Chain A
Amino acid sequence: MKIILPLVIGILFASGTYLMLQKNILKLVLGLALISHAANVILISSGWIGPGQVPILGKDDSIPFVDPIPQALVLTAIVIGFAALAFLLVLSLRVYRDLKTSNIEEIRGQRG
């Protein structure tokens, strides 16, 4: 797990980056979503020490718990990420409506 997980996170980051570097504005949004997944997984795995108990009290408190703090942070991050995704999607929709293109390189303003 400790060897494969970093590898998979690397793949997630790499494919997110690759998508963001494309010209299509929607690919940019998809790439961002992939990268935010990867970041969340990094946070969670930093609190994961191996087999541990779900941080819900009341059963058997002798077994070590998984760290609840990264979980709380990531829970917030997921929801915020959703809001950002929605915003970006609608932004790209609006860009397409106004400028009649979804190619980022055509959207850039003129020089000077």
Chain B
Amino acid sequence: MNSLIFRSIIKIVSPILMLFSVYLLLRGHQLPGGGFIAGLMTSAGLVLIYLAYGCERFDWRHRSRFFYFLFTSGLTISFLTGLAGLFWGGFFLKSGFAHVHMPLINEDWEFASAAVFDFGVYLVVCGVCVSLMTMLGEEE
């Protein structure tokens, strides 16, 4: 798998995938996208890098803790969003949103609590997928 062509393609494709996944995450509330899709896309990008380069550029083997940290913190963030709903909204996972006027670009931006929740989902999906792949990759 670590042929030159593959590597060169990955070099270009992976960053695009990552950026695109962030875009998908942010627009999830309005257009197709959201935490699951973005998480899967990010992990697809990371897995491609892993397949192409193995442990040359980045030693995945000793970073697995980082991915565990990713999904546990994702769970925590989602749970805390739920708790916030309990405090301010009256019941667990109550969501809310607000429109804020941005001074410089002169636009109305929407901030929704669901976006934070979705970010938690994103972290969980991403962490789980990548730790799964690296765990399997370390088997030899």
Determine whether the beta carbon of A79 is less than 8 Å from that of B36. yes
Contacts between chains A and B (CB distance < 8 A), count: 11
Give 1 or 0 for each of A36-65: 1 = CB within 8 Å of chain B CB: 000000000000000000001010000000
- The docked-state distance in angstroms from the alpha carbon of A83 to that of B1 is 25
* Chain B residues with CB under 8 A of A83: 128
Determine whether the beta carbon of A56 is less than 8 Å from that of B125. no
Determine whether the beta carbon of A56 is less than 8 Å from that of B32. yes
- The docked-state distance in angstroms from the alpha carbon of A96 to that of B139 is 13
* Chain B residues with CB under 8 A of A56: 30-32
Determine whether the beta carbon of B125 is less than 8 Å from that of A79. yes
Determine whether the beta carbon of A90 is less than 8 Å from that of B136. yes
* Contact count band on A: under 10
* Contact count band on B: under 10
Interface of B is mostly: helix
- The docked-state distance in angstroms from the alpha carbon of A75 to that of B39 is 13
Interface of A is mostly: helix
Determine whether the beta carbon of B132 is less than 8 Å from that of A75. no
- The docked-state distance in angstroms from the alpha carbon of A86 to that of B135 is 12
* Chain A residues with CB under 8 A of B125: 79
* Chain B residues with CB under 8 A of A86: 132
Give 1 or 0 for each of B96-140: 1 = CB within 8 Å of chain A CB: 000000000000000000000000000001001000100010010
Residue numbers of A with Cβ under 8 A of B are: 56, 58, 75, 79, 83, 86, 90, 93
A-B contacts, 11 of them at CB < 8 A, read A56-B30, A56-B31, A56-B32, A58-B30, A75-B36, A79-B36, A79-B125, A83-B128, A86-B132, A90-B136, A93-B139
